[in-house]
Amino acid sequence: MSQAMEEPLGRQVLAGAQMLFVAFGALVLMPLITGMDPNVALFTAGIGTLLFQLVTKRQVPVFLASSFAFIAPIIAAKADFGLPAVLGGVVAAGIVYILLGFAVQLKGPGFIDRLLPPVVIAPVIISIGLALSPVAVNMAMGKAGDGSAQLIPYETAMLISMPALLTTLLVAVLGRGLFRLVPILAGVAVGYGLCFAFGVVDTSGIAAAPWLAIPNFVAPEFHWGAILFMVPVALAPAIEHIGGVVAIGGVTGKNFIKKPGLHRTLLGDGLATSAAGLFGGPPNTTYAEVTGAVMLTKNYNPKIMTWAAGFAIVLAFIGKFGAALLSIPVPVMGGILCLLFGSIAVVGLSTLIRHQVDLSEARNLIIVSVTLVFGIGGMVIGYGEFSLSGISLCAIIALVLNLLLPGGEGWKNKQIEENSE
């Protein structure tokens, strides 16, 4: 371990670039789906990671970047209220993490278990994946995400999206070493190459873009309607964050729940997400791909994440790079998202299975059933700007049902309990 901490600077820099390469596919895909600027997302991922390191005293080797959990509420809130209002919601979601961090500091990590057991979080995660599936299918068929327009002919779109999906699958299953950790990037590369072959890439934006440019930062506006869309969804990534901290602790052989403490890691994630909203970027979360790369390379030095953050910030100021990302046609993203959104739903299913949630028990059955139907069906409750729908509503419903229905005291998260002792 001490050798890893004293490795040469050149190796640290190279390892940092490697970590960004692993995270890159998912990092830029999220802003492209939601209509945000990928250069801003790179900048806020870098700034967010540095803030996280500052709060945790550079002890945890994680990289923070765009969270997929927020895609559905961002798309919905952006259509209703506009991007600045969405960013206000992102800032508010970061504040939720910060408040959860303070609650953990006051009441201990077990507080999270009582508030957000698997029976609450799992159906919300399943809903996030399945509610987004029409977006993936529409894009794979060459349509806009909402299906409102045919952007690329169906036959051409399928000849692009399916090979992109197949490449992603093959790399994820058959890839070796670090290559196995970049299936999204491999899928994008193959899909983008096919787009050039079919002549559906518009390169005029790349030609017009300057080499160096300040990212297109957008200031947030605070609108209650947009905040109500965004804040409830923050509950699922909060649990994802805890899982990520426990996972990286298992890889490095250190107990990060205890030192620097779960309250500090949640505070770091919250500050990173709020900072992203202030600059115009998507919410941040810890990346499992990077944890996989840390495990593979056995490079446990948190300084490499400082370098990864630095590279992300530098790339954010390269105008042509952002323009090239924006030129990626929808079928490329659609093909890959058919796997990604499905895998989000499977994470929720595996949460139910791993924690042995008994669905023959009426209480659990009611929470999961109502949450899934409200989340996937797009139920709306409220009036005008004070309305909740989709993922935001199902997160609130799951939380309320868990608190109101009797018999939910028995469950404890062994992972957190073991790590906090």
pLDDT in tens, 259-299: 898 999 999 999 999 999 999 999 998 887 788 888 888 88
User: Is residue 1's pLDDT more than 50?
Assistant: no
Under the banding of pLDDT at 50, 70 and 90, the label for residue 3 is very low
User: Is residue 387's pLDDT more than 80?
Assistant: no
Under the banding of pLDDT at 50, 70 and 90, the label for residue 4 is very low
Eight-state DSSP code of residue 214: -
Is 418 part of a structural domain of the chain? no
Is 417 part of a structural domain of the chain? no
Q: What's the average model confidence in pLDDT over 218-226?
A: 92
Helix axes 183-198, 154-174, angle to 10 degrees: 150
Top pLDDT among 267 and 391 is at: 267
DSSP 260-304: IIHHHHHHHHHHHHHHHHHHT-PPEEE-HHHHHHHHHHT---THH
Top pLDDT among 274 and 18 is at: 274
pLDDT above 70 covers what percent of the chain? 95
Is 420 part of a structural domain of the chain? no
pLDDT for the residue numbered 8 = 83
Residue 269's domain spans which residues?
2-412
Is 292 part of a structural domain of the chain? yes
pLDDT for the residue numbered 382 = 80
DSSP 104-132: HHHH-THHHHHHS-HHHHHHHHHHHHHHT
Q: What's the average model confidence in pLDDT over 165-177?
A: 91
Is 267 part of a structural domain of the chain? yes
The number of folded domains in the chain is 1
User: Is residue 51's pLDDT more than 50?
Assistant: yes
Top pLDDT among 420 and 315 is at: 315
Under the banding of pLDDT at 50, 70 and 90, the label for residue 376 is very high
Is 421 part of a structural domain of the chain? no
Is 76 part of a structural domain of the chain? yes
Is 419 part of a structural domain of the chain? no
Whether 299 and 178 have beta carbons less than 8 Å apart is answered as no
Token pair 């998202």 is found at 337
The sign one gets for the Cα dihedral 99, 103, 108, 113 is negative
CA atoms of 335 and 187, how far apart (whole Å): 8
pLDDT for the residue numbered 408 = 63
Beta strands 284-286; 64-66: pairing state: antiparallel
Sheet strands (E) in 9-91? 64-66
